[in-house]
């Protein structure tokens, strides 16, 4: 798959998300559009993004293109609770190959139930994930697919302040393949968003500094921790509450730990790169 095709897919997905956001019920300026906002540093959070990475790993390419298409859409809810559906597709490509080989794709679909009271927000999510090796990668390396698929439940509790959010919790995999996959996950992190825009592009677009740290400890890897850190600029309505409304981002991203890419989940990977994202 050519790099241009990746860009076109991301552009189409963002256009669809923008259209979907436009037909949702209107939200007053300054109010958050979701009770539990997406985690900016979690590499497995359903979002729209495209990232170029320089990576070190036993089997992955040294230059990766990583893209994600995903969103959480509310189904029913009230002022302090919501039941939604979430779905995401995450793919990694070998940017050093002449054919930009697809390496891995992860599919996630789930039902998150969120509740917010004051500065505390919780997200209980039941979800399914399945992972697949790319055909070109299998043909060129004769690799064999690991039948990685599982159902899991996770719970996060977050404390939201005006400019920062801290969250923590964990998950449990209750049905899975391979059969020896160990079920426990511990998860936590911290986010910061600048209170006011320091960059103004006209009257309707402002830029805030953002940063996030996400840590995920996995029982299957003897509780090794995957550390993900991001920082950069978030572009959106300058009068909106930080983290609310439609917004673009340009982020530096770093990661080290068990690979967050399904078929390579028992490898160790370190990466550094830059990416763009969109939150409808």
Q: Is pLDDT of 245 > 90?
A: no
User: What pLDDT is stored for residue 19 in this prediction?
Assistant: 41
Which position has the higher pLDDT, 35 or 17?
A: 35
Could you tell me which residue, 255 or 4, shows the higher pLDDT? 255
Whether residue 178 is preceded by a cis peptide bond, meaning omega within 30 degrees of 0, is: yes
Structure confidence by residue, pLDDT tens digits, 55-89: 999 999 999 999 999 999 999 999 999 999 999 99
Q: CB-based burial of residue 142 (10 Å sphere; 0-12 exposed, 13-18 middle, 19+ buried)?
A: exposed
| Ordered structural domains, the chain, with CATH | 3-279 (2.40.230.10)
Per-residue pLDDT tens for 147-159?
Answer: 899 999 999 999 9
How high is the pLDDT of residue 6?
A: 45
Q: What does the pLDDT read at residue 17?
A: 44
Confidence of residue 192 (pLDDT cuts 50, 70, 90): very high
What pLDDT shows up at residue 198? 80
CB burial string 24-52: b at 16+ within 10 A, e below: eeeeeeeebbbbbbbbbbbbbbbbbbbbe
pLDDT of residue 201: 76
Question: What's the token pair of residue 120?
Answer: 């505390």
């Amino acid at each position: 798959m050519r790099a241009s095709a990746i860009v076109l897919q991301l552009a189409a997905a963002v256009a669809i998300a923008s259209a979907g956001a436009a037909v949702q019920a209107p939200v007053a300026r300054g109010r958050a559009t979701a009770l539990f906002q997406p985690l900016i540093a979690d590499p497995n959070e359903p979002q729209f993004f495209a990232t170029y990475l320089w990576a070190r790993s036993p089997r992955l390419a040294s230059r990766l293109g990583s893209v994600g298409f995903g969103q959480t859409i509310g189904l029913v809810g009230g002022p302090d609770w919501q039941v939604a559906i979430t779905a995401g597709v995450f793919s990694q490509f070998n940017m050093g190959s002449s054919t930009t080989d697809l390496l891995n794709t992860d599919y996630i679909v789930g039902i998150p139930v969120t509740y917010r009271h004051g500065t505390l927000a919780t997200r209980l999510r039941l979800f399914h994930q399945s992972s697949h090796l790319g055909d070109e990668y299998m043909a060129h390396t004769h690799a064999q697919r690991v039948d990685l698929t599982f159902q899991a439940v996770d719970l996060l509790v977050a404390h939201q302040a005006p400019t920062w959010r801290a969250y923590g919790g964990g998950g449990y995999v209750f049905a899975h393949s391979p059969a020896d996959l160990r079920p426990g996950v511990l998860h936590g992190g911290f986010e910061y968003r600048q209170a006011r825009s320091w960059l103004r592009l006209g009257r309707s677009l402002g830029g805030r500094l953002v940063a996030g740290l996400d840590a995920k400890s996995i029982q299957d890897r003897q509780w090794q921790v995957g550390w993900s850190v991001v920082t950069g600029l978030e572009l959106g309505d300058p009068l909106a509450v930080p983290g609310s409304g439609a917004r673009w981002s340009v982020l530096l991203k770093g990661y080290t730990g068990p690979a967050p890419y399904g078929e390579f989940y028992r490898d160790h990977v370190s990466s550094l790169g830059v990416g763009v994202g969109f939150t409808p």
